[in-house]
A and B are shown apart, each in its own frame.
Chain A
Amino acid sequence: MADMRPTKIPMPETDPIRRAGNFEEVALGYSEADAAAEAARCLDCKNAPCMRGCPVGVHIPDFIREIRNGNPEAAYEIIHSTNLLPAVCGRVCPQENQCEGKCVRGIKGEPVGIGALERFAADRHRESRQSRTVPSQKNGHKVAVVGSGPSGLTCAGSLARMGYDVTVYEAFHKAGGVLVYGIPEFRLPKQIVEEEIEGLKALGVSIVTDAIIGRTLSVDDLFSDGAEAVFIGSGAGLPQFMGIPGENLLGVFSANEYLTRINLMKAYLPEYDTPIKKAKHIAVVGGGNVAMDAARCAKRMGADEVTIIYRRGMEELPARREEVHHAMAEGIRFRLLCNPTKILDDGNGQVSAVECIEMELGEPDASGRRRPVPKQGSEFTLDADAVIIAIGTIPNPLIKSTTSGLETTPKGCIVADEAGRTSRPGVFAGGDAVTGAATVILAMEAGKKAAAAIDEYLRGN
C-alpha cells in the first residue's frame, strides 16, 4: 500500500542567504530515508502515465520500486538503460511539465518526486563508483557527431552501445555543450557532467575538442574522412539581441557571454584568468531558465541588486518553477509585465540605466500565450550598470552555410523529421539545432531517436 501523504518529501537546500555568495550546489539531494519515503508514495500504476511524459521513456515505476526496495544501483541500471545522462536529467529536467505533470498523485496533491528520485539513484551510483561499462563489440561502421551537448552525447552514446565507432566533434575546448558553458555549477556541478562524459568514453565514444564543424572541417570532410552518417547536434548558440538603442554600450552582455565567462571560463575562481566586471545593479532581460541562471550568477558575482525584466507575468515565466523559487529566495527582484525600450549611456559609453515600458496582456498570440502589449505613457527607468540579454538563441549559421543540400527554415533551424532525417541522405540532426532553443531532455530524446534512425539507415545500406 502506497504512503498516501499528499506532499513530496522536500529536498534539502542550502541556506539562500549564504548560498547567494557561492557557487555550491543548491539542492542537496535525498538521503536514503527521504528516498525510501518518497518512493513509497508511488502508486506503481499499471499503465504508468508518468512514462508517457518522459521524452526518453524511462521505466519510472520500475526504478522507483527498486529504490523502495533499497536497491538504488538496480534503479540506476533501469534508468540508464533508456537515459544516458541520469545525474544531469535528475537535476535540470522540467519534471513539472513531463513525468511529474502526468503523475496520478498530482491530481489530489503533489506528484511523486520522480526527478529527485532519479537524481538519488544516479548520485548513489556515482558515489559507489561502480562501473560495469564495457565497450560494445564494434560493428566496423563510423559515425560522426557534431556537438557534444545533450543531443550529441545521447546520440553518440546510443550508437556506441550498438557497436558503432563514434567520434564527437566539439568547437569549444571542453565537451558538454550547454551543460558546461550554460548551466551554472550551483545547479549542475561540472564534476557530474565530466563523469557522465567519462562514462560515454568508456562506452567507446571518442571526443575531439577545438574542432569547429563548418570551419575546421566541413560536413563533407567528415564523410570523406570515413564517416558513413553524420548527426548534427550543434545547438542554438547564436544569442539574440533586442534591437533597441544602446545595446552595444559597455556593460551589455548576451547571457551566453556572461554565463560562458562564469561557467566554462570560471571567472568566479581567482586562479582563472577570465575577467568579468563587477557591477552593482544588474538587469537581466528575459524569463526563461537562462535568465534565471544569469540572474543567480550575477548575485553570486557580488551584485547588490539583480532585477529580472520580463514582458509577461509570473504565470507565463517559461523557467522551471524550482528555478524561479530559488531565484526569489536568493533575493532576485522581478519586474514583470515590462519591457526594455532603450539602454541609457552614462556619457562615457557605459550603461547607466534601462528605460522600460509597462505591458499588459492582450489576446493570445500564435504560441497560445497572451500577447504583451505596451501601455502608452508608462515609461520608467531602472538604474543598472550592467544589462544581460537573455531573450533566446537561434542556431549558428556555420553549418547551414557550409553544407550543401541541407534544408533550413527561415529562422536557420535545420529541417528534420521526427526521426532526425534531414533533406540530405546520411545527415541527421536533432536538439536545439532543429527546434530552436528548448530543453536538455528534448535534445536527448532527439539524439536517441536519431541514433535509431542512423542505425536503420546504415543497416539498409
Chain B
Amino acid sequence: MYRILKKRYLNEAKNVIEMVIDAPLVARKCLAGQFIIFRIDEFGERVPLTIADYDRAAGTVTIIFQPVGATTKMLAEMSAGESILDFAGPLGKPSEVEGFSRVAVVGGGVGCAIAYPVAKAFGQAGAEVDMIAGFRSRDIVILEEEMRAAVTHLYITTDDGSYGIRGFTTNQLKALIDSGIRYDRVVAIGPAPMMKFVCAVTEPYGIKTIVSLNPIMIDGTGMCGGCRVAVDGKTQFACVDGPEFDGHLVDWDELIKRNSYYREEEAAHVCRLTGGVRHG
C-alpha cells in the first residue's frame, strides 16, 4: 500500500489535484520525464501518470492529475492519510536535459505539471529556460509561483485573455522565435493537439522539438504494446522507447485516434460511479 501524505488543489477551479505519495523505492531513482503506474484497489485499472516532483530523502513522489476518467475521479475523492494499492515506477526514459544553452518549454493545461519539472531540470543543468504555460482561462492556472521560480522567463497565456497573454502557447512561441531568440531545443507537454501544433510552429525553423506522450498502456514495461506510436514510420512503444520523442517524427493523427479508443467505455464507467471510492 502507498499512503497519500498530502493533497491539495492547484487552482481556483479545483480541477487539478496534487498528491504526495509515500513511495521510497520510486523516489530512490526517479528523474524528470519519467512516469509511474498506479492502481487504486483490486478492481482498478493501471493508469500512468508522469512524475511531477520527488523528494529522495523523504522517500516521496508527487503526482498531479486532472480527474477526467473513472480512475482519476476516484483518486480525486481520496484524502491524505488514505492509501492506494499500487504505485510502480519510475518508468520510461528520463528527459534529456544536459548540454543546452537556451530552451523553450511549452506546457498546456495540466501538462504544465509535467513541463514544470522538466523546465526545472533544464535550469539546474545550466540552460536558460523560457517557459510558456497555456491555460483556457484564469481559474485553471496552476503552479504559477513554482514555474516562475524555476525558469528564466515565464509567459502565461490564456485562450480567453482572462489572465496573462491572450491567445495560444503557439502564438507566444512563434513570437519569441521571431524576436530572434535562438533555441537549441523546444519541449512541448500537454494535450496531443497542442503538441502537434507546437511541432508545426518549430518545424520551419528546424528547432528540434521533444514531446512527452501519454498513450493508453497497461504495464508500462514494454509488455502489452498498447502504447505503440508511429515515429518516423517505425512503431515504438511509448513506455520503454519514450515517453519523450522527436515531435516532428510522430504520427499525430494516429496517436490522437488511439488515445480516444476507450472513450465510450470510460463514459460508461464514470456513469456507474456513485461518487467516491468503492472501498473506503
- Chain A residues with a Cβ under 8 A of chain B: 171-173, 181, 209-212, 215-217, 237-239, 241, 247-248, 250, 253-254, 256-257, 260-261, 265-266, 271-275, 277, 349, 396-398
A215 interface neighbour in B85, B89, B230, B235, Cβ under 8 Å = B89
Among all A-B residue pairs, the 10 with the closest Cβ atoms:
A275-B265, A210-B88, A257-B224, A254-B225, A237-B223, A349-B257, A173-B86, A239-B225, A275-B262, A273-B45
Contact B90 A215 (CB under 8 A): yes
Give A256 to B218 CA distance when docked, in angstroms. 10
Count of B interface residues, CB-CB < 8 Å? 40
In the complex, B254 has a CB within 8 A of chain A:
yes
Residues of A within 8 A of B228 (CB): 241, 248
Given contacts A260-B219, A273-B44, A273-B70, contact A173 B225 (CB under 8 A): no
Most chain B CB atoms below 10 A, which of A248, A256, A277: A248
Residues of B within 8 A of A247 (CB): 235
Contact A210 B86 (CB under 8 A): yes
Residues of A within 8 A of B220 (CB): 212
B47 to chain A minimum Cβ distance, whole angstroms, is 10
Contact B235 A248 (CB under 8 A): yes
Contact B88 A171 (CB under 8 A): yes
Look across to chain B and name the residue whose beta carbon is closest to the beta carbon of A235. Answer: B223
Residues of A within 8 A of B43 (CB): 266, 271-273
B45 interface neighbour in A237, A265, A271, A396, Cβ under 8 Å = A265
Given contacts A209-B86, A216-B90, A250-B258, contact A256 B225 (CB under 8 A): yes
A239 interface neighbour in B89, B224, B229, B230, Cβ under 8 Å = B224
Give A257 to B217 CA distance when docked, in angstroms. 9
Residues of A within 8 A of B14 (CB): none
Most chain B CB atoms below 10 A, which of A181, A209, A257, A260: A257
- Docked complex: B42-87 residues within 8 A CB-CB of A: 43-46, 70-71, 85-87
Give A271 to B70 CA distance when docked, in angstroms. 13
Give A396 to B89 CA distance when docked, in angstroms. 16
Give A261 to B216 CA distance when docked, in angstroms. 12
Residues of B within 8 A of A265 (CB): 45-46, 218
In the complex, B222 has a CB within 8 A of chain A:
yes
Look across to chain B and name the residue whose beta carbon is closest to the beta carbon of A243. Answer: B235
A-B contact count (CB 8 A): 108
In the complex, B226 has a CB within 8 A of chain A:
yes
Contact B25 A173 (CB under 8 A): no
Give A216 to B262 CA distance when docked, in angstroms. 29
Give A257 to B218 CA distance when docked, in angstroms. 8
Look across to chain A and name the residue whose beta carbon is closest to the beta carbon of B220. Answer: A212
Look across to chain B and name the residue whose beta carbon is closest to the beta carbon of A172. Answer: B219
Give A248 to B226 CA distance when docked, in angstroms. 9
Contact A260 B223 (CB under 8 A): yes
Give A270 to B141 CA distance when docked, in angstroms. 38
24 CB < 8 A contacts A-B = A171-B221, A173-B86, A210-B88, A212-B89, A212-B220, A215-B90, A216-B28, A216-B90, A239-B223, A247-B235, A248-B254, A253-B226, A254-B226, A260-B218, A265-B46, A272-B43, A273-B45, A274-B45, A275-B266, A277-B265, A349-B257, A396-B221, A396-B222, A397-B222
Give A272 to B71 CA distance when docked, in angstroms. 11
- Docked complex: B132-157 residues within 8 A CB-CB of A: none
Residues of B within 8 A of A266 (CB): 43
In the complex, B39 has a CB within 8 A of chain A:
yes
Residues of A within 8 A of B254 (CB): 248, 349
Residues of A within 8 A of B20 (CB): none
Most chain A CB atoms below 10 A, which of B45, B46, B85, B225: B225
Residues of B within 8 A of A216 (CB): 25-26, 28-29, 88-90
Give A274 to B257 CA distance when docked, in angstroms. 19
In the complex, B91 has a CB within 8 A of chain A:
yes
Residues of A within 8 A of B25 (CB): 210-211, 216-217
Residues of A within 8 A of B265 (CB): 275, 277
Most chain A CB atoms below 10 A, which of B70, B221, B226: B221
Given contacts A173-B39, A173-B86, A216-B26, contact A257 B222 (CB under 8 A): no
Residues of B within 8 A of A277 (CB): 261-262, 265
Residues of B within 8 A of A273 (CB): 43-45, 70-71, 269
In the complex, B201 has a CB within 8 A of chain A:
no
B38 to chain A minimum Cβ distance, whole angstroms, is 9
Given contacts A173-B39, A273-B44, contact A237 B222 (CB under 8 A): yes
Give A212 to B262 CA distance when docked, in angstroms. 27
Residues of B within 8 A of A211 (CB): 25, 88
Residues of A within 8 A of B88 (CB): 171, 173, 210-212, 216
Give A173 to B88 CA distance when docked, in angstroms. 8
Residues of A within 8 A of B85 (CB): 173
B55 to chain A minimum Cβ distance, whole angstroms, is 17
